[in-house]
Amino acid sequence: MADELYLENIDEFVTDQNRVVTYKWLSYTLGVHVNQAKQMLYDYVERKRKENSGAQLHVTYLVAGNLLQNGYVCHKVAVVREDKLEAMKSKLSTLASVHVYSIQKALLKDSSPLYSTDYDIVKSNLQHCSKFSAIHCAAAVPRTPPDAPRAPAQSQRGPDAASVVNGHGPPAARPPPQQQRGIMGMFAAKAAAKPQDTPKETKAEAKEAPGVSATSSKPSIKNSIMNNFFGKAAMNKLKANSVPEQLKEEKEVEKPSVAVAEPESSPNSVAEKPGKKAESARIQQKDKRSKTKRTDRSDDEEERDPENVKKKRKRIKQLQSDSSDEEADIPPSPTREEERAPSPPLVPALKTELEPASTEGSAAGRKRKRKRVLKSKMFIDEEEGCMGKTG
Amino acid sequence: MSHAMFSEQAAPTAQGLLAPPSAEPPTFPRVPVSGYSDCSQPFQLGERSFSRQYAHIYAVRLAGMRPGLERCARKQWGNDIALRKLSELQAGEKCCVVGTLFKAMQLQPSILQEISEEHNLVPQPPLPKYIQPSDELMLEDELQRIKLEGAIDVQKLVTGTIVAVYGSEQDDGRFLVEDHCFADLPPPLPWNGPSSDRFVLLASGLGLGSVSGEALLSTQLLVDVVTGQLGAEGEQSCAAHITRVILAGNLLSQNTQSRDTINKAKYLTKKTQAASVEAVKMLDEILLQLCTSVPVDVMPGEFDPTNYTLPQQPLHRCMLPLASTYTTLHLVTNPYQANLDGVRFLGTSGQNISDIFKYSSMDDYLEILEWTLRAGHISPTAPDTLGCYPFYKSDPFILTECPHVYFCGNAPHFQSKLLQGKEGQRVLLVTVPDFSATQTACLINLRDLTCQPITFSGFGADSEDRDIEVGH
């Protein structure tokens, strides 16, 4: 019953779908141990050939063993076609393994289809690529996410330039995780500050203190979610664009992120604002430096269409805002949009509306104003349902 | 010494998988790392300042190695020999001088000559070797220099080596050498190796991002053997004894280094990506597969995206977002030094050896590797012909302890040798071959310091015999 099933599956893959079925591909597809997959393939070949000796079936094998080469006894691992199997086996002085590697309908000229099949199946199973393997490693555990962003508390970078002994910095101060934590810390800080921004803008200034303290407890919970959100998306963008930048900026960023992360401990809006100002000032600096990169980044933006469609909504409302920044995955802030809704839909009006808004909550709102400048000036205006063009 | 390697142990069950599916296939746990400590602190640079001159590194090198050389000199030529500085030399007096070698080579590429307008020279094309019969050796110490002649092999030695020469100054101002000696093997480290078989896989020169497809399948086979996907049960169980994988540089191919974007007009290159971006993504996927199964140490090499000068700093984690989520990924410096299960490893990605190759008559990478160990310095030609950070307090490339495994990556082919020292040192010298060219990696057994190459091959349209031998 269960036996027949895999045979049918393999038959379908090979004969009907005309696939190259490698043991690895079969293992992932049927969800079985790699060794079982190899045995299944062997079983299928045997049975099929017994039934129908003229079956159109080609097999490749994996052979491994000792080989004398260049004066060394080397362990050779080779994928060979069936017709060369015996020749390879005879070359090896000791045979360590033989098993079926793949079966396919057509005779393969070279081994690149084998590689592409394995590559594709591994690529779509990257998250658990050792699941069906014969070796399990207990030490291979992913790093826990809170590990990453909590660095700002530790990294009091007071003596930054102090110890330049022989070019060796303080070894403890620069382990690689720190660098990532710096980047993550920056996003964590922004995330922490963001939810605090929203209530502030809608409420009166007087209500800020309780608003801050209320929401300051939230970021700590939200943080892990935020960071994961930032982690992947931010990482993807950062990877392509701003690696050297980040390295440079990392130190500067860690300082403001320390300041901004502090709101949790000191829910004092006053203390917070200067901190944020400092951060936004630095980020402004960064933006100036990043201006040359902006064109490249906006190019990449255009290619990331699904994200763009979503972001376009916000951008329309915040056109011509101060400057762009490398990260832009700030979660949509619905309150802001509602705020803008009653305003006249024409762009110039929007623009003027923006300016006072931006100056008013300058320090607070500045972070959110950091949007990418739209390259193409076409947009769809939701309210009116018409197309508008910027000047 | 028996080669208790994969094949013999695996042989009994070799054909076991040529059978119908069995009930429960076994899963082997990876042998855990019993002791690991990274000893690469001397090679990690924090704040870097390039405002210093390189004279300081030579000064500290000589100061650091002088005591050891004076000891060797006394041991070799007697306790009562006269140790002199160059400024104290008297003509005709037999004495011993310790200093730094400088080889004046006519063919040595000189940037000043290249840009000199009055010479009107076309820049010299890169040559495999820059040695000439007319090269001359000088000995320099803290204050002076003197030309050497006599019983010293000018062709073999390179600039930057600290040496002790025994002889006398001649009337014409040259020093006639009767004998010379180097620092010799550094003092041995105690042996704490494992008592059962544990393997370390050493590979270098994966060369991702090149156009060649053959090496890709071999790379995949390498990953599959290590992660226990490939092979019959016996082989998989042996592979579970691989406790670590060390990738010694050149993970990216030289092809990823093209910098067309600088020369071409911006509008042509706007949407193009550096070749290294795609290659690094591939590297990330390969490392992810490895990291889910075994601890991996990744050393940068000549073509990898990190700084150019030695010591190269680790690759940055943000380039490898998938793999760096695992604690088993260790991004380390080049050179790299660590204690693995009680065995001290020290090695480089090969720039030091290949640079000496260019300026010395020595042809064999293993010979050069051994020579650097005996000369007491990982890379004497830095900073003269090999880029190096301007150290000024101490030279971290001086060998102070004798490692148990000393390797260099990206060699033309695999070689290994077990060296026994006079003071009880036991070193396994390994030249790790360039994987993209040879499809060969090295398996080192920590129990008895033996090494076996492991080769991978697919099949192509042309040849059935894929025994690639890269001669040099």
pLDDT digits (tens, 9 = 90+) for A19-66: 899 999 999 998 989 998 999 999 999 888 888 877 788 999 999 999
Distance in Å, alpha carbon of A285 to nearest chain B alpha carbon: 22
Range from A62-76, A146-160, B259-273, B334-348 carrying the lowest mean pLDDT: A146-160
Instruction: Identify the residue with better confidence: A390 or B112.
Output: B112
CA atoms lying within 13 Å on the CB side of residue B130: 21
Distance in Å, alpha carbon of A364 to nearest chain B alpha carbon: 29
How many angstroms separate the CA atoms of A50 and A90, rounded?
A: 26
Is the CB of B14 less than 8 angstroms away from the CB of A95? yes
Q: What is the dihedral of CA B99, B104, B108, B113, to 10 degrees?
A: 120
Report which DSSP code applies to B311: S
Strands A72-81 and B450-457: parallel
Is the CB of A96 less than 8 angstroms away from the CB of B17? no
Distance in Å, alpha carbon of A254 to nearest chain B alpha carbon: 16
Distance in Å, alpha carbon of A269 to nearest chain B alpha carbon: 34
Residues of B in contact with A171 (CB under 8 A): 41, 44, 46
Residue A317 — pLDDT band, cuts 50, 70, 90?
Answer: very low
The contacts of residue A3 (CB under 8 Å, 6+ apart) are B21
Residues of A in contact with B32 (CB under 8 A): 138-139
Tokens of A324: 């762009």
Q: Report the chain B residue with the minimal C-alpha distance to residue A176.
A: B317
Residue B33 has its nearest CB partner, among A73, A109, A139, at: A139
How many angstroms separate the CA atoms of A339 and A357, rounded?
A: 11
pLDDT digits (tens, 9 = 90+) for B23-68: 778 888 888 887 888 899 889 988 888 888 888 999 999 999 999 9
pLDDT digits (tens, 9 = 90+) for A268-310: 444 444 444 444 444 444 444 444 444 444 444 444 444 444 4
Size of interface A-B (CB pairs under 8 A): 304
Is the CB of B47 less than 8 angstroms away from the CB of A164? yes
Burial B296-306 (b: 16+ CB within 10 A, else e): bbbbbbbbbbb
Q: What is the pLDDT of residue B117?
A: 61
How many angstroms separate the CA atoms of A378 and B77, rounded?
A: 86
Three-state secondary structure call for residue A383? coil
Strands B343-348 and B199-203: unpaired
| Interface probe with A: pick from B22, B197, B229, most Cβ of A within 10 Å | B229
How high does pLDDT run on average in chain B? 87
Tokens of B387: 């880029």
Closest to A155 (Cα-Cα) out of A177, A173, A170? A173
Contact in structure between A146 and B28 (CB atoms under 8 Å):
no
Termini Cα distance of chain A? 71
pLDDT digits (tens, 9 = 90+) for A243-273: 444 444 444 444 444 444 333 344 444 444 4
Matching residue, tokens 């500050």: A193
**Helix A362-369 vs helix A176-202: crossing angle, to nearest 10:** 120
Give the residue extent of every domain in chain A.
1-104
Range from A110-119, A342-351, B215-224 carrying the lowest mean pLDDT: A342-351
Distance in Å, alpha carbon of A65 to nearest chain B alpha carbon: 5
Three-state secondary structure call for residue A91? helix
Q: Percentage of chain A with pLDDT > 90?
A: 9
How many angstroms separate the CA atoms of B464 and B231, rounded?
A: 21
**Helix A23-30 vs helix A34-51: crossing angle, to nearest 10:** 110
Is the CB of B292 less than 8 angstroms away from the CB of A78? no
Residues of A in contact with B212 (CB under 8 A): none
Residue A381 — pLDDT band, cuts 50, 70, 90?
Answer: low
Is the CB of B440 less than 8 angstroms away from the CB of A165? no
Residue B458 has its nearest CB partner, among A35, A111, A130, at: A111
Distance in Å, alpha carbon of A352 to nearest chain B alpha carbon: 34
Three-state secondary structure call for residue B71? helix
Distance in Å, alpha carbon of A106 to nearest chain B alpha carbon: 14
Residue A80 has its nearest CB partner, among B8, B459, B469, at: B459
Q: Report the chain A residue with the minimal C-alpha distance to residue B266.
A: A296
Evaluated on CA atoms B107, B108, B111, B116, the torsion sign reads negative
Using alpha carbons only, give the angle B257, B259, B260 rounded to the nearest 5 degrees. Answer: 135
The contacts of residue B280 (CB under 8 Å, 6+ apart) are B252, B305, B319, B320
Is the CB of B318 less than 8 angstroms away from the CB of A176? no
Residue B7 has its nearest CB partner, among A75, A166, A167, at: A75
Residues of B in contact with A119 (CB under 8 A): 220
Closest to A97 (Cα-Cα) out of A34, A160, A43, A143? A34
What integer is the mean pLDDT of A155-184?
46
Is the pLDDT score of B174 beyond 60? yes
Contact in structure between B167 and B179 (CB atoms under 8 Å):
yes
Distance in Å, alpha carbon of B211 to nearest chain A alpha carbon: 13
Q: What is the pLDDT of residue A184?
A: 53
How high does pLDDT run on average in chain A? 61
How many angstroms separate the CA atoms of B80 and B361, rounded?
A: 34
Residues of B in contact with A40 (CB under 8 A): 21
How many angstroms separate the CA atoms of B30 and B239, rounded?
A: 8
Residues of B in contact with A75 (CB under 8 A): 5-7, 443, 452-455
Tokens of A316: 């329309």
Q: Percentage of chain A with pLDDT > 70?
A: 36
Instruction: Identify the residue with better confidence: B310 or B257.
Output: B310
Residue B7 has its nearest CB partner, among A84, A96, A164, at: A96
Residues of B in contact with A94 (CB under 8 A): 7-8, 11
CB atoms within 10 A of CB A186: 27
What integer is the mean pLDDT of A99-126?
88
Is the CB of B460 less than 8 angstroms away from the CB of A111? yes
Residues of B in contact with A243 (CB under 8 A): 316, 318-319
Strands (E) located in chain A: 21-22, 58-69, 72-81, 94-104, 135-136, 378-381, 386-389
Q: Report the chain A residue with the minimal C-alpha distance to residue B27.
A: A134
Termini Cα distance of chain B? 30
Q: What is the pLDDT of residue A379?
A: 57
Distance in Å, alpha carbon of A324 to nearest chain B alpha carbon: 19
pLDDT digits (tens, 9 = 90+) for B73-130: 999 998 888 898 988 888 888 999 999 999 999 888 877 777 776 666 666 778 889 8
Q: What is the pLDDT of residue B401?
A: 92
pLDDT digits (tens, 9 = 90+) for B340-363: 989 999 999 999 999 999 999 999
Residue B21 has its nearest CB partner, among A39, A77, A80, at: A39
Listed in sequence order, the DSSP H helices in B240-298 are 260-263, 266-269, 275-291
Residue A136 has its nearest CB partner, among B27, B291, B469, at: B27
**For the domain A1-104, what is the CATH code?**
3.90.1030.20
Cis peptide leading into residue B311 (ω within 30°):
yes
Residue B216 has its nearest CB partner, among A67, A96, A115, at: A115
Residues of B in contact with A107 (CB under 8 A): none
| Interface probe with B: pick from A66, A67, A75, most Cβ of B within 10 Å | A75
Cis peptide leading into residue A344 (ω within 30°):
no
Is the CB of B461 less than 8 angstroms away from the CB of A179? no
Strand order in the sheet with B242-248: A21-22, A94-104, A58-69, A72-81, B450-457, B440-445, B199-203, B242-248, B296-299, B329-331
Residues of B in contact with A1 (CB under 8 A): none
Is the pLDDT score of A6 beyond 90? no
| Interface probe with A: pick from B6, B8, B17, most Cβ of A within 10 Å | B17
Is the pLDDT score of A151 beyond 90? no
Is the CB of B228 less than 8 angstroms away from the CB of A84? no
What integer is the mean pLDDT of B157-167?
93
Residue B293 has its nearest CB partner, among A60, A130, A180, at: A130
Distance in Å, alpha carbon of B289 to nearest chain A alpha carbon: 6
ipTM of model: 0.86
Q: What is the pLDDT of residue A143?
A: 80
Q: What is the pLDDT of residue A208?
A: 39
What integer is the mean pLDDT of A182-198?
47
Residues of B in contact with A123 (CB under 8 A): 285
Closest to A122 (Cα-Cα) out of B59, B439, B289? B289
Tokens of A190: 């922004």
Q: Which of A328-337, B319-328, B463-472 has the highest mean pLDDT?
A: B319-328
Q: Report the chain B residue with the minimal C-alpha distance to residue A76.
A: B455
Residue A176 has its nearest CB partner, among B235, B314, B466, at: B314
Q: Report the chain A residue with the minimal C-alpha distance to residue B45.
A: A168
